Every structure is written in structure tokens, then in C-alpha cells.
Amino acid sequence: MTDLLSLTPDAARQSLTAWLTARGEPAYRIRQLTPRLWERPVPRWADATDLPAPLREALDLDFPLGRLTVAAHQVSADGTEKFLWTLADGQAVESVLIPEGKRRTLCISSQVGCALGCVFCATGTMGWSRNLTPGEIAGQVREIRLQSAERSPTNVVFMGMGEPLLNWESVDVALTILNHPEGLGIGARHITLSTVGILPKLALFAKRPEQFRLAVSLHAPTQAMRKELMPVEKKYSLPELLGALQGFERRVTLEYVLIAGKNDSLEAAEALAKIASPLAALVNLLPLHPGGAPGLSPSPRAHMLAFERRLKDRGVEAVLRRSRGLDIAAACGQLRVERELGRKVPAQEHAGVE
């Protein structure tokens, strides 16, 4: 059996064309089949009622369409939606849908768990289980499109569970599926890959011709501070990362979670400004998700505003994101951890980021 949903649209078309030809089907059938993968998806081939029943039965046998099952769905008072998906092998990953006006941004996962162990991330507490397939990655968008075409995401960010560049082979294909006109058809500038900076794979991402966006999980302006928060600093150092970003031809966003007493001082803001200015980078300042980071506290609002102001005073474009999904388990990995450990984080501790 071939997983068509883990192939690029061009490769899926080739596979289906060869199969149809071997069956002696008319050539026009391919034009009926390919849109049912991504553009106008069906749950199963049996639901593609414009096709003859014998053909649908054969398709379901040879090319079954993999699904993600909703294990939990939470809706915040602000409209943010959190999905916990169960995969075919029983593993689970999360997505967060954030509506804002006509824009609907879906934060998607690329791995089951994460091996990087960033201290402020709930996903890091569960360790790494496996990589997602391209179909499981892009399938998070497909499932919402299946629910309602009107709610289909307009923007996608790889900011869910896992480090995308540690699953580059699958993410590379998933990017094509998300962007391709015969795939999900989302514009490249509406797709953002977030990474801690896995340098060899970052170079491969930079070579792609599409104008995909890059966000770098920085979270500290010095090596010593970053090593305390992010163990990856030991392998790919901050100077090496910044050197790689200098050669990136598109604008970079620097992600910076503000943690009380750790990285939120005005001295840290000064150091961050010296990093961001040469890159002409946008700095996204993010309130910490306290429910997903035991032992850490979010910076007080006044500290966050002062930090943002110091960056702007130094000529850096900075945005302090407002929290979303405060009444649901919106921190990355938090809902899965709660389900597995049977614990519930108090509602006031939940935080989601726009």
C-alpha cells in the first residue's frame, strides 16, 4: 500500500496515473482523484461519490487515506482551539488553531515529543518518541479542512511539538504539500518554520526557492544564558547560529520567551538588540506558558513592556504578543502531558501565544 498523503502532489499524481493506466481506467480519472487528496479532501475514497463504486473500493484497498483522530478538542473564550490528535499507532500530537479576523493560523507539530529539552517547554518533558510522516504533518491542516472548508487554515507555523529540522526529510515534503497548488495551496509567505537552529538542515531549508518564513527560537542573547535554557547550545553555539543567519536571504524572526529572573532584564534586552540589529530581524516577545514549565514564572507585565521598549529604543522592531487560550491547555505539549499524567493545570496558569 502506498501512502499518497506522504507524497508530494506531483509524486502522488504519478503514482495514481500509473495505477489507473494498469487498470485500464480512462485518462480523465486522474483529474477526479488528485483534488480529493488535499484540495477537496475526502475522509475515505468511499466518500468520493463522483467515482464508480468498484474504483472507490480498489482505491481504499491500495491507497487508504490515513487519518488523525481527535482525542481532545478545547475551545477558548477568545476563539483559540486546541486539538490533541491520536495517530494510527496510538501516539498523540497537538495543534492549535488561532483565529484573528480573516486569518486562521494553525500551529502544527512535526515530531511526537522532542529530544531537545528546552526548560520552558512542556513538550521537552515527555522526551522524543518518533518523527511524523509528511502525511501526519500536513494532515493536521487536512483534518481541519475536512471538518469545514470555511475554517481551513490560511497560515501555518511549525511551532508545535518537536524540532522541525530534526525531521527535515518529512518536513521538506510537508512544506511542498502545504504550498503546492494541487496540495493545500497555502502561500509560502504564510508558512513559517520555527527552529532552535540545527545548522546543517537550516542550510537545506535556506536553499529552497519558495519564500517560506523562518523563525528562530533564540530565548537568550548570550551563550551562557542560552545554555541554561536550551541544551542545544552545547552542539550549535549562538555565534555559529548567528553566522548562519547572516547568510539567510529572507527576513528572520527571533522568538524570545520572557521568563522572570532568567532572561528578562534590561541588560538582556541590550544584548538582544545587538544581535537583532545586524540581522534586521523582527523580535517576537512571548509570555511564558507557566502551565507547561514547572518551576518557571512569566515575567511581570511591566517587565515585558520595559523589555519591549528598550528594544524599540535601540531601533529594533519588536512585538510583545498577547496571550491566547488562557482558559485551555494551550502551551505546546501541555494537553498531552495532562492526559498522560492525569494532572490538570489550574485554568489561571494556562497560556497560549498568538
Catalytic positions: 94, 332
Bridge partner residues of 81 (DSSP)? 75, 97
At CA 160, angle to CA 156 and CA 161, rounded to 5?
Answer: 145
Q: Which residues contact 204 (CB under 8 A, 6 or more apart)?
A: 168, 172
Q: Give 293-327 as a DSSP string.
A: STT--BPPHHHHHHHHHHHHHTT--EEEPPEE-TT
The rounded distance, in Å, linking the Cα atoms of 192 and 306 is 28
- What is the spatial distance between Cα 93 and Cα 109, in angstroms, rounded to a whole number? 7
Spatial distance between the Cα atoms of 304 and 255, rounded to a whole number of angstroms: 14
Using DSSP, state whether 155 is helix, strand or coil: strand
Instruction: Please tell me the distance from the alpha carbon of residue 125 to that of residue 269, in angstroms, as a whole number.
Output: 28
Count of Cβ atoms closer than 10 Å to residue 104 Cβ = 19
